[in-house]
């Protein structure tokens, strides 16, 4: 293997070397200057643009985020307060619902009890109506019986009144008979004046009997006439007085004690 030796370079002059170094220095300086200018321009124009494009939006977003966070906190507080208020309302409504349910149950029980009472009252009312109808029937029967009894009592009363009136008339006739007997005794005693007075009393008793015994009015009127006619005979001391007194007394007693069967 053959080794070739490097070809020797021609020798450079110091001037060319100095020019070359100067040229390289200028190129580097120009490059650095251009880079510096570019960096300066970049900083001059890029920093504000970067600030406006990056920092300002970030700051604005930060402010907006802070505002949103504050608003969110306020909304959360408001929602929490509203939630608490709603829970309180719900609790109050639940309490009212519970109270209403209890009242409803109580009212239902009262209505049920009222219904039971109404049924009982209906039963009592029906029984009362039946009792009232029975009482009305009893009252009607009692009224009819009472009316019949009153009618019968009226008839009996009329009969009793008639009998009492008749008895009063007979009593007046009995008093007349006694007066006639007294007249006869007075005449036997020789007292014609008292005999006439007693005879007038007998006539009065006959008048009383006539008012109470209208069915015997004609007979009693005749007896009054006969009694009145005795007064002149007594004044004259006629013998006819005695027989006439006895006959008059017998006729009066026939009226006082009527025959059996009348």
Query: What does pLDDT average to over the chain?
Result: 78
Give pLDDT, residue 205: 86
The stretch 155-173 carries a mean pLDDT of 71
Query: What local confidence, expressed as pLDDT, does residue 261 receive?
Result: 46
What lies within 8 Å, CB to CB, of 242 at 6+ separation is 184, 187
| Residue 108: predicted pLDDT | 75
Q: Measured between alpha carbons, how far is 190 from 183 in angstroms, rounded to an integer? A: 10
pTM, two decimal places: 0.41
Q: What is the pLDDT of residues 65-106, one digit of tens each?
A: 788 788 878 877 887 888 788 788 888 878 887 887 888 788
pLDDT at 223 over 80: yes
**The predicted structure's pLDDT at residue 1:** 45
pLDDT class of 3 with cuts at 50, 70, 90: very low
CB 179 within 8 A of CB 198: yes
pLDDT tens profile 139-154: 778 677 767 766 776 6
- Return the pLDDT at 161: 62
Cα atoms in the Cβ-side hemisphere of radius 13 Å centred on 54: 6
């Amino acid at each position: 293997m053959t080794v070739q030796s490097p070809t020797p370079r021609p020798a450079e002059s110091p001037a060319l070397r100095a020019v070359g170094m100067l040229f390289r220095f200028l190129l580097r300086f120009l490059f650095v200057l251009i880079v510096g200018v570019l960096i300066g321009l970049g900083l001059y124009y890029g920093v504000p643009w970067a600030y406006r494009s990056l920092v300002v939006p970030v700051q604005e977003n930060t402010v907006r985020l802070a505002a949103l966070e504050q608003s969110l906190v306020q909304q959360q507080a408001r929602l929490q307060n509203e939630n608490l208020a709603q829970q309180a309302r719900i609790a109050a409504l639940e309490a009212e619902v519970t109270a209403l349910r209890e009242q409803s149950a109580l009212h239902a029980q009262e209505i049920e009890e009222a219904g039971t009472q109404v049924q009982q009252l209906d039963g009592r009312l029906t029984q009362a109506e039946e009792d009232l109808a029975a009482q009305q029937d009893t009252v009607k029967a009692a009224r009819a019986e009472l009316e019949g009894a009153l009618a019968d009592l009226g008839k009996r009363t009329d009969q009793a009144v008639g009998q009492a009136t008749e008895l009063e008339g007979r009593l007046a006739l009995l008093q007349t008979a006694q007066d006639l007997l007294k007249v006869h005794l007075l005449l036997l005693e020789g007292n014609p004046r008292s005999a006439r007075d007693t005879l007038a009393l007998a006539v009065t008793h006959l008048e009383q009997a006539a008012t109470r015994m209208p069915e015997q009015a004609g007979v009693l009127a005749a007896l009054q006439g006969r009694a009145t006619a005795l007064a002149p005979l007594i004044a004259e001391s006629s013998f006819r007085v005695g027989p006439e007194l006895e006959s008059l007394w017998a006729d009066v007693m026939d009226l006082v004690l009527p025959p059996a069967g009348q």
